[in-house]
Structure 1
Amino acid sequence: MRHYFVLISLAFTFFLQGQSLHQIPKNVKRSSISSFENFNGVINNGGKINKGAKGHAFEEFKAGETKTLLDLKGPGIIQRMWFTVRDRSPEMLRAMRLRMYWDGQSKPAVDVPFGDFFGFGLAKVVRMETALFANPEGRSFNCFISMPFKTGAKITITNESELANEMIFYDIDFVELKKPEPDALYFHAFWTRQKSSELGKDFEFLPRIEGKGRYLGLNMGIKTDACYENTGWCEGEVKLYMDGDAQYPSYVGTGTEDYIGTAWGLGVYTNLYQGCTVANDSTREYAFYRFHVPDQVFFFQHFSGAIQQMGGEMRDYIRRLLTNNAPLKPIMVLAGDKTIRLLDQPKDIFDAGFPDGWVNFYRRDDYSSTAYFYMDRPTTSLPALPGVKERIN
C-alpha cells in the first residue's frame, strides 16, 4: 500500500512538471552520471580502470581531505545523488562537509554537514523513505531534489574530522541541457545550531534572505536540557516571515508536532513529507522533518523562518522546577475550560489563587537544523557553516 502512494505521488509530480515518463523533454541534451568510475560522466570514458571491470568504485576519505565529486560547465539539472560511507557515526556525519556551487560562484549555495543534509536531524541515521530523501536500509544516503544550473555546477565534500573514513562511494545523476531554463530557481541549504539562548527568543532556522524563491522545508534536531526533566518541549510554533512581514509572521502554526502533521507529542514515524526520525526520552534527543511539496510556500521579496522554544507541564511540576532555579517563564495556563494568557494577564504562578492546570512555558534547549529552499540567485548573504567542533560538541 505504501508503494502505491509513492507511485501516485511521483505521477502527480510529473504531472505538475508538465512531463511524462514516455517523453523526452525538448531541451535535454544528454543524461549521465558522475562517480569515481567516470568523473563528470564523460562520453566513452566510464569504467576504464581494470580493463572495464569494477576497478574504482570507492576511495579512502582521509582526514582533512576535500574531494571534488562533480565539476560541470554549461546548463543542466542534477536529478539524484547517492552516497555510502563506512563510518556513519553522528560525529563523522557532522564532520563531513558537503558544498555545492552554481554558475561559477566562489560562495556555495549549499554548505552543510553531510548527515544533516540528507534529512537526518542530529546526524542520527535511520531507515527512511521520503519524497526528497531516502535511506532504505540505514546504510546509504539518497537525495531526489532537482537542482538546476545555468552555466556550471560544482560539488565537493571535505572530511573535517581527525579520522579517515575508510570508504566513500557516490554517484550523481544529471542531465545536460541545450540551453538554460530562464525561470529555474537555484537550490540552497543552510545549517545552523543554537545551544542556548535567552528565554523567549525563537530559534531562527533560516535568517532573512532577500529575493524571490520557494521554501522547501527543513529537518531539525533537539537535545533538551536536563534541568527541565521530563516536561514536554514541543509546544513551540513555527513562524514563517515573508513579503511584508516584520514583527509578526503571516504563517504561524499551532505547535511543533502539529507542524509535522501529528499531535499530542512525538513518536517515531517516517512519511513522504513529514516525520520524526528520533524520539528518545531517555537521552532527551528528538529529530523531525517537514517538506512543503504539496503545500508550496513561495516568497517574492524576502523570507525567514523560526520556531518558538516552548514546553508544557502541570502547575505543581512547574512550581518545583522554578524552585530548583530551572530557567523558564510561564506564558499560558489551561485550567478546565479556561485559558489564561499570562503575558496579557500577568499572574504569579506561586500565588495561592493561580489555577491548577497545564502550563505552557518558555524554555531553552539545544537546537540544530537544515533548511532547504530555492532562490532566484546562486548565492545568498547567509553566514558560513560553523566549525566542526561547534557542529559536534
Structure 2
Amino acid sequence: MFDLSTLCQVVDIKSRSISPENYTGEPGKGGMCPPEQGIASHACRDLGMGWKVNPCVRIEGGSIFEMADIQGPGMIRHIWLTPQGRWRDLILRIYWDDQAQPSVECPVGDFFCMGWNEYSQISSMAVCVNPGSAFNCYWQMPFLTRCRITLENLADKETIVYYQVDYTLQALPDTIAYFHAQFRRTNPLPYKEVYTIVDGIRGKGQYVGTYMAWGVNNSNWWGEGEIKFYMDGDRDYPTICGTGTEDYFCGSYNFEDPLTHDRYAAFSTPYTGLQVLAPDKLYRSQFRFGMYRWHIPDPIYFDSSLKVTIQALGWRSEGRYLPLQDDIASVAYWYQTLPTVEFPPLPDRDYLEVI
C-alpha cells in the first residue's frame, strides 16, 4: 500500500485506466472514439475526435455490461462510478483469476455505503461519496492472472453510467489475498432471529469492513445488539463478541448528540461513520441509518473459516430487551485466499427495493 513515505520511490509499476473513453486500458488508446459513434456525438459535433466523445455507457434493462477485463498480475486501486435511478437495480460483480463465481456481488448503492438510495456524503479511507452521486472505492484489489468487473442492470429500462477503473500492472507475490464483498438483506428480521452479516467463508484471510443499512420499525433505542465473529471452528460461542451496535461502529450512548440529547449525531471519519435519514410528516415513517466500520488498522484475521452475526435488540417495558423485527441490509468486506465459496443467491429486484 502506498502512503506519503513511499511516493518518492522509483518503482517498476505501470499505471492504466479503463473508462468509456478506453474500454481496454491499452496504452495510447484513450479518447479514440470516432465522433459519429460516441454517446456525446451531438455535443462534440463541432470539435471532433478527442473532445469528450464517449464519456459514459448505456446499459440496457435486463442486461450485463462488462466494465473491465484485465490480464494480470495487477491491482485495482480506485473505482469511480455514477449510478442513476434505483441504486439497488445495478449489481456490481468482480471475478478473480477465471473463477466462475464472483468474489464481489453487491448492489452498487450498498457497496458504496448508500443502501437507502439517498445521497449522504462519506469521507472515509476506503469509500468516498461526493456530490452529486460520485461513488469512489479505494480498496486495493490485487490479482495474479485476471480481473473481470461487470454491472447488471435489473431495471426494465436502460441506465447511463459514467465510470473509471484505475489499476496498475505489477509483479505480485503468490501469497496475495483477494478482495471479497457480499451483500445480504432481511426484511423484516423474524422475531428473536439473529441477523447474519456473512457466513460460509472458507480460506485464510482477514475481515476488513462492515456496512449496514438499518431501518428501524419501532420507537425507542434500537442498537443494543452485539456483533459476533465466529472464526476457525467456533460453534456455539464466538471468539470476538462486541458490546453493542453503536459500540461496534465506534460510537456510544445511542449515537446521541452529546449537547442536546434530543437527536442522533451523524458523523463520517476515516474508519467509521453514521448516516441518519430522519422521518418527516408525510410518507417516511421510520428512521433509517447507514453505518460503516473499516478494520483497516485492526483487521480480523482468520485461518480457515469465518461467520459474522449481529443481534437486533432494543428496549421494551420494565427494562427488558426487545428483539427487533427491522429492515436490515449489510455488506461484508474481506480478503482471503482462493477459491471463493459460492455466495447465496441475491434476492430478486422487488425484495431488494427500498420502499
TM-score interval, normalised by the smaller of the two chains: 0.7 to 0.9
CA distance, structure 1, for counterparts of residue 342 and residue 150 of structure 2: 20
Correspondence list, 1:86-125, <5 A = 87=84, 89=85, 92-125=86-119
- Determine if the alignment matches structure 1 residue 293 to structure 2 residue 277: no
Q: TM-score, normalised by structure 2?
A: 0.87
Report the counterpart of residue 267 of structure 2 in structure 1: 269
Alpha-carbon shift at residue 216 of structure 1 (Å): 0.9
- Determine if the alignment matches structure 1 residue 305 to structure 2 residue 308: yes
Report the counterpart of residue 82 of structure 2 in structure 1: 84
Given that residues 278 and 286 in structure 2 are in contact (C-alpha distance below 8 angstroms), is that contact kept between their aligned partners in structure 1? Answer: yes
Identity of aligned residues (%): 32
CA distance, structure 1, for counterparts of residue 158 and residue 346 of structure 2: 21
Q: Kindly tell me: are residues 119 and 362 of structure 1, through their superposed partners in 2, closer, same or farther at Cα, counting changes over 3 Å?
A: same
Cα deviation digits, residues 298-321 of structure 1 (max 9, x gap): 111110100001101452xxxxxx
Report the counterpart of residue 260 of structure 2 in structure 1: none
Given that residues 243 and 302 in structure 1 are in contact (C-alpha distance below 8 angstroms), is that contact kept between their aligned partners in structure 2? Answer: yes
CA distance, structure 1, for counterparts of residue 183 and residue 116 of structure 2: 11
Report the counterpart of residue 153 of structure 2 in structure 1: 159
Correspondence list, 1:6-85, <5 A = 14=2, 20-26=6-12, 28=13, 30-49=14-33, 50=35, 51-85=49-83
Given that residues 200 and 341 in structure 2 are in contact (C-alpha distance below 8 angstroms), is that contact kept between their aligned partners in structure 1? Answer: no
| Stretches of structure 2 lacking an aligned partner (at least 5 in a row) | 36-48, 256-263, 280-284
Report the counterpart of residue 162 of structure 2 in structure 1: 169
Q: Which secondary structure state, in structure 1, belongs to the residue aligned with residue 254 of structure 2?
A: coil
Report the counterpart of residue 367 of structure 1 in structure 2: 328
RMSD of Structure 2 on Structure 1 (CA): 1.9
CA distance, structure 1, for counterparts of residue 310 and residue 11 of structure 2: 40
Which of residues 192, 204, 210 in structure 1 aligns to 2:202? Answer: 210
CA distance, structure 2, for counterparts of residue 122 and residue 378 of structure 1: 32
Cα deviation digits, residues 241-286 of structure 1 (max 9, x gap): 1123211111111111111111111332111111112342552312
Q: Once structures 1 and 2 are overlaid, which stretch shifts more, 197-206 or 365-374?
A: 197-206
Given that residues 212 and 375 in structure 1 are in contact (C-alpha distance below 8 angstroms), is that contact kept between their aligned partners in structure 2? Answer: yes
Q: Which secondary structure state, in structure 2, belongs to the residue aligned with residue 276 of structure 1?
A: strand
Alpha-carbon shift at residue 378 of structure 1 (Å): 4.5
CA distance, structure 2, for counterparts of residue 65 and residue 76 of structure 1: 28
| Stretches of structure 1 lacking an aligned partner (at least 5 in a row) | 1-12, 316-357
Report the counterpart of residue 247 of structure 2 in structure 1: 258
Given that residues 213 and 329 in structure 2 are in contact (C-alpha distance below 8 angstroms), is that contact kept between their aligned partners in structure 1? Answer: yes
Give the AA of the match of 1:164: E
Report the counterpart of residue 125 of structure 2 in structure 1: 131
Cα deviation digits, residues 206-263 of structure 1 (max 9, x gap): 01311101101111112222xx3x1221111111111232111111111111111111
CA distance, structure 2, for counterparts of residue 106 and residue 138 of structure 1: 35
Alpha-carbon shift at residue 180 of structure 1 (Å): 3.6
Q: Which secondary structure state, in structure 1, belongs to the residue aligned with residue 247 of structure 2?
A: helix
CA distance, structure 1, for counterparts of residue 271 and residue 163 of structure 2: 25
Give the AA of the match of 1:102: W
CA distance, structure 2, for counterparts of residue 194 and residue 106 of structure 1: 26
Q: How many residues align?
A: 326
